[in-house]
């Protein structure tokens, strides 16, 4: 007599309808989605936890409107550098010269505007052009002569630091024109009726929320159209709610003080522009390709030398912009400006999800990594942690981020 084995094998229960109940199924679904998208959500969660920790530890001082505004102003130049550094690392390279180049551009701007009375808009354009030339020279040595980026940019770090000392003759030079100072320290003007909030900041915040929702939904649909793996719907909605809530809270905090800083608008343009470039433009896909698998990229027709050259040219321009913002914020050019900026930018990129081997990372990840470092610095200052322990803690965070990247690659590869 035959036995019907299929009748004795119970069918697996669908998610949310097993013995654990719908709550357990939802939790398991979220945990599974988190594991599959660990790189995407890990640093967002870390940033949230750090904010909550220092908000409680500092008795709420971290989230005071004035402190949130200062947090943006204090970290703006590092975030600008982090965007460019993320592209460099994605392409499989490194740039150690950006801190010294930042100082050199500040010194150049001071010589042009303070010593020679050149109009500040003309001086800004010249400084950006000088930054682009400096980046392109390094890019030429790296891309076309085949010298490793570590060596070329290490030489650049020494060269630009020396030129800064020569230009400034070892002295601090300032002040800068008032209009230039507003780029780094100014706020958007107030418009409309008195609402106890900065109206223009509220409008921009609501527009940003609409853009975030549209972009996230659009990206999810495109991934589904190409049969790519996407997070579970409930996890996606949870992420969307968290992003909207974060933007709304920051908007209200800034709007209740002096409004959005001008430099925040500059950062917003850079994030949107470079984010689009890396996601949708051909050059963005080529940057990922040469960093992920250079031989395969060459066989596919990618002009790797040209792409590498452009990546370093772009890094030079962003370093120049950061140098102008830094000099304008402190209203002077100093021979000691930009010290360790390259380390901060590199750390922000790795904390934000870049991979040591290249080919991985996002512009938004660089911003998140920079904010993690910025909140750590600000929070530790508020609670009175000494600079010695601050360095130890930041080093541990960087090591943890790189260790997480190694663990995640091994987990995915196994």
Which one has a higher pLDDT value, 20 or 154?
Answer: 154
Mean pLDDT of the chain: 87
Res 409 pLDDT > 70: no
- Model pTM greater than 0.85? yes
CA distance 43 to 49: 10
Q: For the residues of 342-399, what is the DSSP string, one character each?
A: HHHHHHHHHHTT--TTSS---HHHHHHHHHHHHHHHHHHHHTT--HHHHHHHHHHHHH
Reported as a pLDDT band with limits 50, 70 and 90, residue 199 is very high
pLDDT at residue number 39: 59
Tokens 């304008």 — which residue?
328
Which one has a higher pLDDT value, 262 or 46?
Answer: 262
CA distance 123 to 109: 6
Q: Which of 131-135, 212-216, 351-355 has the highest mean pLDDT?
A: 131-135
CA distance 355 to 331: 36
Query: 366-396 pLDDT, tens per residue?
Result: 999 999 999 999 999 999 998 889 889 888 8
**From the CB of residue 33, how many other CB atoms can be counted at a distance below 10 Å?**
21
CA distance 270 to 119: 25
41-186+261-401 adopts what CATH topology?
A: ABC transporter involved in vitamin B12 uptake, BtuC (1.10.3470)
The helices-and-strands tally (H runs, E runs) of the chain is 16, 0
Q: Measured between alpha carbons, how far is residue 97 from residues 150, 154, 333, 357, 404 in Å?
A: 9, 6, 18, 20, 27
Reported as a pLDDT band with limits 50, 70 and 90, residue 19 is very low
Q: Measured between alpha carbons, how far is residue 200 from residues 43, 124, 242 in Å?
A: 30, 27, 23
Res 203 pLDDT > 90: yes
Query: 160-197 pLDDT, tens per residue?
Result: 999 999 999 889 998 999 999 999 999 999 888 888 88
């Amino acid at each position: 007599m035959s036995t019907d084995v299929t009748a004795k094998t119970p069918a697996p229960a669908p998610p949310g309808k097993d013995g654990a109940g719908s709550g357990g199924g939802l939790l398991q679904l979220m945990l599974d989605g988190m594991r599959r998208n660990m790189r995407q959500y890990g640093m967002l969660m870390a940033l949230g936890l750090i904010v909550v920790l220092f908000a409680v530890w500092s008795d709420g001082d971290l989230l005071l409107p004035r402190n949130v505004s200062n947090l943006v102003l204090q970290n703006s130049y590092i975030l600008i550098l982090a965007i460019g550094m993320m592209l460099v690392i994605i392409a499989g390279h490194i740039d150690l010269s950006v801190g010294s180049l930042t100082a050199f551009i500040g010194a150049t701007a001071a010589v042009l505007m303070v010593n020679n009375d050149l109009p500040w808009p003309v001086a800004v354009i010249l400084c950006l052009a000088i930054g682009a030339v400096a980046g392109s020279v390094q890019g030429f040595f790296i891309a076309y002569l085949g010298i490793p980026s570590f060596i070329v940019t290490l030489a650049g770090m020494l060269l630009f630091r020396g030129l800064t000392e020569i230009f400034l003759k070892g002295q601090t030079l300032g002040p800068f024109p008032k209009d230039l100072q507003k780029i780094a320290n100014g706020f958007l003007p107030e418009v409309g009726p008195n609402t106890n909030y900065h109206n223009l900041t509220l409008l921009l915040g609501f527009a940003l929320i609409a853009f975030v929702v549209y972009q996230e939904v659009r990206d999810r649909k495109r991934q589904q159209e190409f049969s790519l793996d996407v997070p579970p719907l409930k996890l996606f909605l949870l992420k969307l709610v968290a992003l909207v809530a974060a933007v709304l809270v920051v908007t209200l905090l800034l709007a209740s003080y002096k409004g959005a800083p001008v430099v925040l608008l500059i950062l917003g343009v850079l994030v949107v522009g470079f984010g689009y470039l890396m996601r949708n433009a051909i050059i963005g896909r080529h940057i990922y390709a040469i960093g992920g698998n250079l031989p395969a990229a060459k066989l596919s027709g990618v002009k790797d030398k040209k792409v590498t050259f452009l990546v370093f040219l772009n890094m030079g321009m962003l370093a120049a912009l950061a140098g102008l913002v830094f000099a304008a914020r402190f209203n002077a050019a100093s021979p000691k400006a930009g010290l360790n900026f390259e380390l901060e930018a590199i750390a922000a990129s790795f904390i934000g999800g870049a991979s040591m081997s290249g080919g991985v990372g996002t512009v938004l990840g660089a911003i998140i990594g920079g904010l993690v470092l910025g909140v750590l610095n600000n929070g530790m200052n508020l609670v009175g942690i000494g600079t010695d322990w601050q360095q130890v803690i930041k080093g541990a965070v960087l090591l943890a981020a790189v260790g997480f990247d190694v663990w995640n690659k091994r987990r995915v590869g196994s």
